[in-house]
Amino acid sequence: MRWVGIVGLQNIVAATLFMATFTPAVSAENPTVSSNIRWAYPVLKEKTPYPKLEPTVEYTVKGSIRVLTGDQLNLMDDPVDWTPSEHPVPPKIVAHDDRDRKLEACGACHGMKGQGGIDVPDIGGLPANYIAEQLHEFAKGRRRSSDPDRDVSGRMAAFASKLSESEIRDAARYFSSVTRSPLPVRVIEAERVPATRANHDWLELVPGGVSEPIGRRVIEVAEDFNQMWIGDPNSGIEAYVPTGAIARGKALVHHGANPCITCHGPTLRGVGKVPPLAGRAPYSLARAIWDIKSGARNGAAVSLMKKPASELTADQIVDVVAYLASLTP
């Protein structure tokens, strides 16, 4: 998860600088987010400081011997490696910020085990050549967001464009060697869901326990926001989906117009360089599909995925991601 210490004020400034200096090498057509997929792109346009932890509360994660106070965590620079015995030794770029080059450690956003979060895709255990290729695509400006107001892709691109080839290779090798363990997703079919609102690039519950009809949306929230934020590799994601979505999604994934299993494998855990889909957070999956459909995400390897993505409607994306997220990674 993005690290609170670095994403304090300095970091907002740093991020703004990154965006101002980064110009994509390729500018394709203008991709858009249509209203029926808006749910997948939460964004709070007014910039507010990132959340701070309660200074005196003590935090730890399951399986870790470390206990740190909110104050210590708020002031910390590098991401905390809570469970170093559960993954190989990370290279510098994954574990440490490089302030001189205004580079944040990969582990700060993706987690030290590459577990991802509610606003960041999981990358632990993805194929090394897929990871390296995505970094190149970001750097070349071929992987963008369909929503310019929610420009996390631009931010990722700014990082990627500053990496040396050896840093890309080291980071890709490291994350691919980590045992695949995206944050656990609990998919819940429901007619009504807790009311939510955007905070930065993710959804949070509206205080007061109000509920609203789900409609044709997926609602994704952290089970315990602070745990996810401090980089707990086991903190969960709750995904509410419309009733019947999982079964409809299953039919589309296995027997639809472009069966996903043909390329992503019979258990949807990936084949060769084609990435896994099983057990991944629904918002990242939905945005990946829509960004390919809208033309925001391009590149050589995307060409195979172009037709399957284009032929899915926003409604079908709801069902497909509900099913995929419900599978064991």
The first and second tokens of residue 9, run together, are 């004020």
Of positions 5, 31, 70, 121, contacts ligand HEC by CB under 6 A: 121
Nearer to ligand HEC, 166 or 211 (CB): 166
| 120 lines the binding site for ligand HEC (CB under 6 A) | yes
Least distance (Å) from ligand HEC to the CB of residue 316? 8
Least distance (Å) from ligand HEC to the CB of residue 168? 7
| 2 lines the binding site for ligand HEC (CB under 6 A) | yes
Residue partners of 146: CB distance under 8 A and separation at least 6: 31, 32, 33, 41, 287, 290, 291, 294, 296
| 124 lines the binding site for ligand HEC (CB under 6 A) | no
Nearer to ligand HEC, 60 or 169 (CB): 169
| 24 lines the binding site for ligand HEC (CB under 6 A) | no
- Where does this chain touch ligand HEC (CB under 6 A) — which range of 37-45, 222-230, 235-243, 287-295? 287-295
Near ligand HEC in 127-186, by CB under 6 A: 130-131, 133-135, 143, 145, 152-153, 155-156, 159, 163, 171
Residue type, 40: A
Nearer to ligand HEC, 33 or 194 (CB): 33
Separation between Cα atoms, residue 1 and residue 110, nearest integer Å: 6
Separation between Cα atoms, residue 139 and residue 159, nearest integer Å: 8
CB 90 within 8 A of CB 174: yes
Of positions 110, 142, 150, 293, contacts ligand HEC by CB under 6 A: 110
Least distance (Å) from ligand HEC to the CB of residue 306? 9
| 196 lines the binding site for ligand HEC (CB under 6 A) | no
User: How many Cα atoms occupy the beta-carbon half-sphere of 1 within 13 Å?
Assistant: 27
| 305 lines the binding site for ligand HEC (CB under 6 A) | yes
Cα angle 321, 275, 144; round to 5 = 75
Residue type, 75: L
Determine the length of the chain.
329
Residue partners of 1: CB distance under 8 A and separation at least 6: 108, 109, 111, 117, 120, 228, 229, 230, 231, 232
Separation between Cα atoms, residue 239 and residue 317, nearest integer Å: 14
CB 119 within 8 A of CB 201: yes
Near ligand HEC in 253-282, by CB under 6 A: 253, 256, 258, 260, 262-264, 274-275, 277
Binding-site ranges for ligand HEC (CB under 6 A): 2, 93, 104, 106, 108-110, 120-121, 123, 130-131, 133-135, 143, 145, 152-153, 155-156, 159, 163, 171, 253, 256, 258, 260, 262-264, 274-275, 277, 285, 287-289, 299, 301-302, 304-305, 308, 312, 320
